[in-house]
């Protein structure tokens, strides 16, 4: 689309400053980018109306008068200007920045290049370097805090998904993720994680498919936020679009070669891991003599020779106080071949607690790219190898990306462009998530004995290669009761996966005349994915299992577009497109799981199933969805000051029934007024107000119209079950309406720039599987039910407090505040549950509340806001479930400092979130089982250990008031880990669920990058054109948070269920170095 640029600047010239009368002369110069390479196709313009385009080396020549302001603009780079003085040679270096730019060319929907000043809607651009500075497996993670209104939440697992939400959640149960478009190709961004995974019941987070995009190939990234910006993408774009433009062939003499190499090492941030208490060991409670309790110490059972035996089966740390003089038969005494077999060992806290499993990860990213061009075309080829050796044993990710982009002028009028990216992704040993044994953090945060040493567990596994678990059922039955040896899980029950993906497009541009052209484009995104899961024979609660998942996913888009670009009069310009698009999505998936265990241990194959595979073990899903659309868009510009845009689109979707309504129309209109045109010479360098209104229609997923039965395993013939979610043939399209206002300004010689938007977005007739009384026969039914409003403010501000030849300090702020309200659900329904989650809570949409409230039992408060306790001194819980939290933040923001001195530049980003809540299943269970070093092991108001029995001066008085309003003075027993004496945990009649809801606010030092460009003089006599080295850091410091022992951002995976932690993984702090060389 580069070709459009020339025309573009015919429309919108940049006229800054005032001109003085002077003699016209020829001014020459060279435009270079931050690498010192010539920038071709840059537009050079003077205030007196001259215009020139740079050649392949970046050279230009233009007629100008002394005093003329000359502006230089190139795609993806900020514009620069200089004033013509006495000289006649001016070199311009366009350095990419990562802050908001108000002017310059941007790529908008469908790859249409526009001058940013003409846009009537909000966009925010991020330079490719921002996402490639720190080697990451998922480019989206680098956007945290960078863009106002784009909320990125990484699930925190190795290779896990990132939730990408622009302007809040606008669909109740549908997809809310931003659309990612690479060089005009929409990218499938699904996770295809299981329902269990997204609701915390176990499974692997396979990451969203957009993480295949190689950060090193990204030239620029433009975030289109509102409906008016994305209307041309149809419903696909209604959650906002992240437009990625990849790097293209630079016009070099010969072949340009670039080499980047980076290494990072990552370690777990201790503040996001449990801090284990070191006072008490295994057990829930003292045992009675009948239960085998030892007469001398009832926390132990009786072993051979009247020895003390630890309670292996009790997965809690509410047992005997540690005492190095106490000799106890522990798990390690049970297994022949272990050094302590048959021996008692001192009763002490483990030297190596579970935090010791979090080793160092290393990520290597190496990219080599070659580019070249001549007057007829250019190309770029790059190869990237990304290798991550994870923090946990036996975990790794590998990704190889080969990309090619090129264009060629076939004739004067016909140009061909093609991009293709091949990615091969391999993962092994991803870490389980949620409440599941494959997630080690389930046990380590919730069910754990603090006396168990992980190094010894490691030794036990490697010595025997058996599942020797600390959680032996008893002295005589050593099979694990609930929890496997962690190393067994890592080395035997590991998964693996791979994805081969081809993404790209081919397009032809035919220039009919100087104002009319026709573009045809075919774009594709196809991948094949394999996932294999294993559970070895000998694992707790399993007879062995093998799972084989294979799917092919494809999306093909066919586009034809007619482009008009015409200067109607001297002061009126027209820019218009009309086009047609057909999108074909296909999916074909097979999942097979062995039945009843594995016959031959260690052989992972469906044919090794103990019993035959039945309908219950096989799942197939095949389908095609087609959507065709037609659209027209026109933009008129008047006097370079007023711009008016309108578009209309219609789509027809195969996912809706033609007998009801399968076609829908929607318009958009936007306008902008560059008022600074009237204020030339003032301190205002640029000013624009904009407004827009847009509608977007939307369809639904395939197969939401007709019920089908699930076939069960046969039993004397077939068996079938009705679906719990009923489909509905009468679904109509959804609708979204949005209006937006914005103001963009640059002042004080562009030293202060800002961009503010207000938007109001209403989604109606949302196609939603509405939860209904199951007496209807279904648990949910697809209906057009649900209206939501999102309104908010986005602001970004850049200040350059210091700017001199050698020293620049740039400060960027961004801020976003979104308020969501569910305004309507189905008739008679005021709460729609998105997920019922373990811990007796649910997350859902309630009329009159924000989308994503957390419901569960709450505290009972008196009129003064004190928590009320009952007669027994325990907190009272609300009689029924009530709103106890809201997953949406109040506001989010980021501050980025960039300081450069000569060839050295330092930038760091602090980002923050205020508000939002998260429920922790980890403290819900873990506070009951007493593994944390906190109030569950401390001293009470009497100065005694809280865990002493009441008779021995233990127990706690919970802060609050009694029902009569007087301060609570009832001391509650806290001596047991099983609910008969513990006010903190999960058990009945004790604390309300609200006790485990935490404020998710945070302040984080997210990124630090220090870069040194080797001065050109050292390179002059070498074949190296440019060399820079950087030191980078990511997730360096959580400056503030309120969630104990975990990162407030940790979650399950991308999706609509946020605000819930179960077996949360720690945040990995990464430090690295990178080298970039150009030849």
Helix (H/G/I), strand (E/B), else coil: 960 = coil
Is 994 one of the binding residues for other proteins (CB under 8 A)? no
For residue 224, the cross-strand partners are 123, 241
Stretch touching other proteins by CB under 8 A, among 40-48, 639-647, 652-660, 1054-1062: 652-660
Q: Which residue in the set 26, 28, 356, 724 belongs to the binding site for other proteins (CB under 8 A)?
A: 724
Q: Which is nearer to other proteins, 528 or 628 (CB)?
A: 628
Q: Which residue in the set 28, 61, 571, 712 belongs to the binding site for other proteins (CB under 8 A)?
A: 712
Q: How far apart are CA 737 and CA 362, in angstroms?
A: 46
Q: Which is nearer to other proteins, 654 or 764 (CB)?
A: 654
Query: Least separation, in Å, of the C-beta of 830 and other proteins?
Result: 7
Query: Least separation, in Å, of the C-beta of 888 and other proteins?
Result: 20
Quote the distance between the C-alpha of residue 1069 and its chain's center.
Answer: 17
Q: Which is nearer to other proteins, 179 or 627 (CB)?
A: 627
b/e code 931-967 from CB counts within 10 Å (16+ = b): bbebebbeebeeeebbbbeeeeebbbbbebbbeeeee
Query: Least separation, in Å, of the C-beta of 763 and other proteins?
Result: 21
Quote the distance between the C-alpha of residue 1046 and its chain's center.
Answer: 18
Q: Are strands 323-329 and 307-309 parallel, antiparallel or unpaired?
A: parallel
The residue to which tokens 């503040």 are assigned:
271
Residues 771-800 close enough to bind other proteins by CB under 8 A: 771-779, 781, 783
**CA angle, 441 as apex, 436 and 445 as ends, to 5°?**
110
Q: How far apart are CA 538 and CA 532, in angstroms?
A: 19
Phi and psi, residue 520, nearest 5°: -125, 135
Q: Which is nearer to other proteins, 92 or 921 (CB)?
A: 921
Beta carbons of 1028 and 1076 less than 8 angstroms apart: yes
Q: Which is nearer to other proteins, 106 or 316 (CB)?
A: 316
Q: Which residue in the set 554, 979, 1012, 1025 belongs to the binding site for other proteins (CB under 8 A)?
A: 979
Residue-wise DSSP of 37-88: -B-TT-EEEETTS-EEE--TTSEEEEEEETT-EEEEEETTEEEEEEE--S-S
Residues 660-689 close enough to bind other proteins by CB under 8 A: 662
Q: How far apart are CA 503 and CA 21, in angstroms?
A: 54
CB-based burial of residue 162 (10 Å sphere; 0-12 exposed, 13-18 middle, 19+ buried)?
buried
- Give the tokens for residue 423: 């990615």
Is 572 one of the binding residues for other proteins (CB under 8 A)? no
Residues 996-1025 close enough to bind other proteins by CB under 8 A: none
Q: How far apart are CA 841 and CA 856, in angstroms?
A: 5
Sign (positive/negative) of CA torsion 308, 312, 316, 322?
Answer: positive
Q: How far apart are CA 1053 and CA 1063, in angstroms?
A: 13
Q: Which is nearer to other proteins, 535 or 1054 (CB)?
A: 535
Binding mask 314-353 for other proteins (x = CB under 8 A): x---------------------------------------
Residues 580-599 close enough to bind other proteins by CB under 8 A: 580, 582, 595-596
Query: Least separation, in Å, of the C-beta of 473 and other proteins?
Result: 6
Q: How far apart are CA 800 and CA 864, in angstroms?
A: 48
Stretch touching other proteins by CB under 8 A, among 425-433, 955-963, 981-989, 1015-1023: 981-989
Query: Least separation, in Å, of the C-beta of 851 and other proteins?
Result: 16
Q: Which is nearer to other proteins, 779 or 808 (CB)?
A: 779
Is 623 one of the binding residues for other proteins (CB under 8 A)? yes
Q: Which is nearer to other proteins, 717 or 865 (CB)?
A: 717
Is 713 one of the binding residues for other proteins (CB under 8 A)? yes
Residues 276-295 close enough to bind other proteins by CB under 8 A: 284-285, 287-288, 290-292
Is 303 one of the binding residues for other proteins (CB under 8 A)? no
Is 190 one of the binding residues for other proteins (CB under 8 A)? no
Q: Which residue in the set 402, 562, 799, 1024 belongs to the binding site for other proteins (CB under 8 A)?
A: 562
Q: Which residue in the set 114, 652, 817, 971 belongs to the binding site for other proteins (CB under 8 A)?
A: 652
Is 824 one of the binding residues for other proteins (CB under 8 A)? no
Q: Which residue in the set 600, 603, 708, 802 belongs to the binding site for other proteins (CB under 8 A)?
A: 708
Residue-wise DSSP of 524-592: EEEEEEEEEEEE-TTSTT-S-EEEEEEEEEEEEEEEEEEEEEEE-SSSEEEEEEEEEEEEEEEEEEEEE
Beta carbons of 378 and 249 less than 8 angstroms apart: yes
Residues 530-549 close enough to bind other proteins by CB under 8 A: 540-543
Q: Which residue in the set 622, 823, 944, 1016 belongs to the binding site for other proteins (CB under 8 A)?
A: 622
Query: Least separation, in Å, of the C-beta of 773 and other proteins?
Result: 4
Other CB atoms within 10 Å distance of the CB of residue 138 = 23
Query: Least separation, in Å, of the C-beta of 982 and other proteins?
Result: 11
Residues 463-522 close enough to bind other proteins by CB under 8 A: 473-474, 479-482, 510, 512, 516, 518, 520
Q: How far apart are CA 581 and CA 231, in angstroms?
A: 13
Is 195 one of the binding residues for other proteins (CB under 8 A)? no
For residue 626, the cross-strand partners are 584
Q: Which is nearer to other proteins, 240 or 955 (CB)?
A: 955
Q: Which is nearer to other proteins, 582 or 1014 (CB)?
A: 582
Q: Which is nearer to other proteins, 149 or 856 (CB)?
A: 856
Q: Give the binding-site size for other proteins (rule: CB under 8 A).
A: 105
Largest Cα–Cα distance of the chain, in whole Å?
109
Q: Which is nearer to other proteins, 496 or 978 (CB)?
A: 978
Residues 737-776 close enough to bind other proteins by CB under 8 A: 770-776
Is 601 one of the binding residues for other proteins (CB under 8 A)? no
Residue-wise DSSP of 598-657: ESSTT---GGGEEE---GGGEEEEEEEEEEEEEEEEEEEEETTTEEEEEEEEEEEETTS-
Query: Least separation, in Å, of the C-beta of 632 and other proteins?
Result: 13
Stretch touching other proteins by CB under 8 A, among 233-241, 641-649, 798-806, 829-837: 829-837
Q: How far apart are CA 316 and CA 452, in angstroms?
A: 11
Beta carbons of 923 and 1044 less than 8 angstroms apart: yes
Q: Which residue in the set 263, 348, 416, 560 belongs to the binding site for other proteins (CB under 8 A)?
A: 560
Q: Which is nearer to other proteins, 216 or 609 (CB)?
A: 609
Q: What DSSP element (H or E) covers 1003?
A: strand 1002-1013
Query: Least separation, in Å, of the C-beta of 731 and other proteins?
Result: 10
Q: Which residue in the set 187, 349, 655, 822 belongs to the binding site for other proteins (CB under 8 A)?
A: 655
Is 306 one of the binding residues for other proteins (CB under 8 A)? no
- Give the tokens for residue 1002: 């945070």
Residues 837-866 close enough to bind other proteins by CB under 8 A: 840, 857
Query: Least separation, in Å, of the C-beta of 728 and other proteins?
Result: 6
Is 989 one of the binding residues for other proteins (CB under 8 A)? yes
Q: Which is nearer to other proteins, 612 or 1015 (CB)?
A: 612
Q: How far apart are CA 922 and CA 943, in angstroms?
A: 28
Is 356 one of the binding residues for other proteins (CB under 8 A)? no
Q: Which is nearer to other proteins, 382 or 728 (CB)?
A: 728
């Amino acid at each position: 689309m580069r070709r459009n640029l020339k025309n573009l600047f015919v429309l919108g010239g940049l006229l800054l400053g005032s001109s003085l009368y002077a003699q016209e002369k020829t001014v020459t110069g060279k435009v270079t980018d931050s690498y010192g390479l010539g920038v071709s196709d840059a537009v050079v313009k003077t205030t007196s109306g001259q215009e020139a385009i740079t050649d392949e080396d970046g050279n230009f020549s233009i007629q100008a008068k002394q005093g003329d302001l000359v502006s230089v603009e190139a795609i993806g780079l900020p514009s620069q200007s200089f004033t013509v003085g006495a000289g006649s040679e001016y070199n311009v270096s366009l350095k990419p920045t990562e802050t908001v730019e108000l002017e310059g060319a941007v790529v908008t929907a469908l790859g249409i290049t526009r001058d940013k000043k003409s846009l009537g809607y909000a966009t925010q651009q991020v330079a490719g370097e921002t996402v490639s500075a720190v080697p990451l497996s998922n480019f989206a993670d680098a956007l945290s805090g960078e863009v106002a209104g784009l909320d990125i939440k990484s699930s925190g697992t190795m290779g896990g998904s990132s939730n990408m939400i622009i302007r809040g959640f606008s669909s109740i149960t549908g997809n809310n993720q931003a659309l990612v478009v690479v060089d005009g190709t929409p990218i499938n961004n699904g996770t295809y994680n299981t329902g269990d995974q997204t609701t915390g019941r176990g499974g692997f987070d396979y990451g969203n498919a957009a993480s295949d995009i190689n950060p090193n190939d990204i030239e620029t990234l433009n975030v289109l936020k509102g409906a008016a910006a994305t209307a041309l993408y149809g419903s696909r774009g209604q959650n906002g679009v992240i437009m990625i433009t990849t790097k293209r062939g630079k016009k070099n003499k010969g072949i340009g070669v670039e080499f980047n190499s980076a290494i990072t090492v990552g370690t777990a941030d201790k503040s996001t891991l449990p801090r284990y208490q070191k006072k008490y060991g295994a057990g829930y409670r003292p045992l009675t003599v009948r239960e085998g309790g030892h007469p001398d110490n009832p926390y132990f059972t009786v072993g051979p020779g009247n020895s003390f035996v630890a309670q292996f089966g009790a997965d809690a740390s509410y047992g005997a106080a540690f005492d190095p003089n106490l000799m106890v038969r522990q798990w390690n005494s049970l297994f022949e071949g272990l050094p302590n077999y048959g021996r008692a060992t001192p009763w002490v806290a483990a030297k190596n607690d579970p935090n010791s499993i979090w080793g160092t990860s290393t990520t290597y990213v190496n990219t080599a790219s070659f580019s070249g061009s001549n007057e007829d075309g250019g190309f770029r080829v790059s190869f990237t190898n990304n290798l991550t050796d994870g923090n946990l044993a036996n975990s790794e990710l590998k990704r190889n990306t080969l990309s090619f982009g090129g264009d060629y002028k076939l004739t004067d009028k016909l140009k061909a462009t093609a991009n293709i990216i091949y990615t091969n992704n391999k993962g092994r040993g991803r870490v389980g998530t949620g409440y599941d044994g494959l997630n080690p953090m389930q046990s380590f945060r919730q069910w754990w004995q603090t006396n168990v040493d992980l190094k010894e567990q490691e030794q036990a596994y490697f010595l025997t290669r058996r599942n020797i678990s600390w959680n032996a059922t008893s002295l005589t039955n050593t099979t694990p009761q609930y929890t496997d040896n962690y190393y067994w899980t890592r080395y035997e029950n590991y998964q693996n996966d791979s994805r081969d993906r081809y993404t790209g497009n081919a397009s032809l541009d035919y220039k009919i005349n100087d104002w009319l052209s026709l573009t045809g484009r075919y774009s594709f995104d196809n991948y094949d994915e394999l996932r294999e899961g294993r559970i070895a024979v000998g694992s707790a609660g399993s007879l062995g299992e093998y799972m084989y998942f294979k799917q092919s996913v494809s999306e093909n888009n066919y586009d034809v577009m007619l482009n008009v670009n015409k200067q109607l009069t001297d002061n009126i310009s027209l820019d218009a497109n009309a086009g047609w698009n057909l999108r074909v999505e296909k999916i074909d998936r097979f999942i097979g799981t062995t039945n009843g265990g594995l016959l031959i241990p260690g052989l992972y194959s469906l044919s090794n199933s103990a019993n035959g595979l039945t309908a219950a073990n096989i799942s197939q899903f095949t389908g095609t969805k087609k959507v065709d659309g037609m659209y027209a868009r026109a933009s008129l510009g008047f006097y370079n000051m007023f711009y008016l845009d309108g578009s209309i689109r219609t789509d027809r979707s195969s996912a809706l029934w033609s007998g009801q309504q399968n076609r829908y129309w929607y318009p958009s209109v936007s306008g902008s007024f560059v008022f600074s045109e009237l204020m030339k010479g003032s301190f205002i360098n640029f000013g624009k107000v904009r407004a827009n209104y847009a509608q977007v229609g939307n369809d639904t997923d395939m197969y939401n119209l007709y019920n089908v039965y699930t076939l069960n395993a046969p039993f004397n013939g077939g068996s079938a079950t009705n679906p719990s979610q009923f489909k509905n043939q009468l679904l109509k399209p959804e609708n979204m309406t949005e209006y937006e206002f914005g103001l963009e300004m640059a002042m004080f010689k562009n030293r202060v720039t800002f961009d503010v938007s207000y938007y109001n977005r209403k989604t109606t007739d949302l196609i939603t599987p509405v939860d209904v009384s199951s007496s209807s026969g279904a648990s949910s039914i697809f209906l057009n039910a649900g209206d939501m409003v999102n309104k908010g403010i986005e602001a970004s501000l850049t200040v350059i407090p210091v700017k001199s030849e050698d020293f620049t300090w740039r400060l960027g702020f961004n801020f976003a505040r979104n308020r969501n309200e569910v305004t309507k659900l189905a008739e008679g329904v005021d709460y729609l549950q998105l997920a019922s989650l373990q811990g007796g809570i649910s997350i859902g949409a309630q009329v009159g509340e924000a989308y994503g409230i957390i419901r569960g039992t709450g505290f009972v408060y008196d009129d003064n806001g004190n928590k009320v306790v009952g007669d027994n001194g325990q907190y009272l819980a609300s009689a029924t479930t009530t709103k106890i939290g809201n997953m949406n933040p109040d506001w989010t923001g980021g501050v980025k400092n960039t300081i450069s001195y000569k060839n050295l530049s330092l930038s760091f980003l602090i980002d923050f979130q205020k508000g939002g809540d998260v429920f922790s299943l980890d403290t819900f269970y873990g506070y009951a089982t007493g593994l944390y070093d906190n109030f569950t092991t401390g001293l009470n108001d009497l100065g005694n250990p809280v865990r002493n029995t009441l008779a021995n001066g233990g127990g706690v008085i919970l802060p609050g008031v009694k029902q009569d309003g007087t301060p609570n003075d009832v001391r509650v027993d806290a001596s047991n880990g099983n609910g008969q004496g513990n006010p903190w945990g999960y058990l009945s009649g004790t604390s309300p669920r609200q006790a485990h809801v935490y404020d998710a606010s945070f302040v984080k030092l997210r990124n630090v990058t220090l870069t040194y460009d080797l001065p050109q003089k050292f390179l002059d006599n070498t074949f190296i054109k440019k060399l820079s080295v950087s030191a980078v850091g990511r997730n360096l410091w959580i400056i503030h948070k309120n969630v104990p022992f975990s990162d407030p951002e940790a979650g399950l995976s991308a999706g609509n269920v946020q605000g819930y932690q179960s077996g949360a993984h720690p945040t990995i702090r990464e430090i690295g170095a990178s080298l970039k060389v150009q030849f």
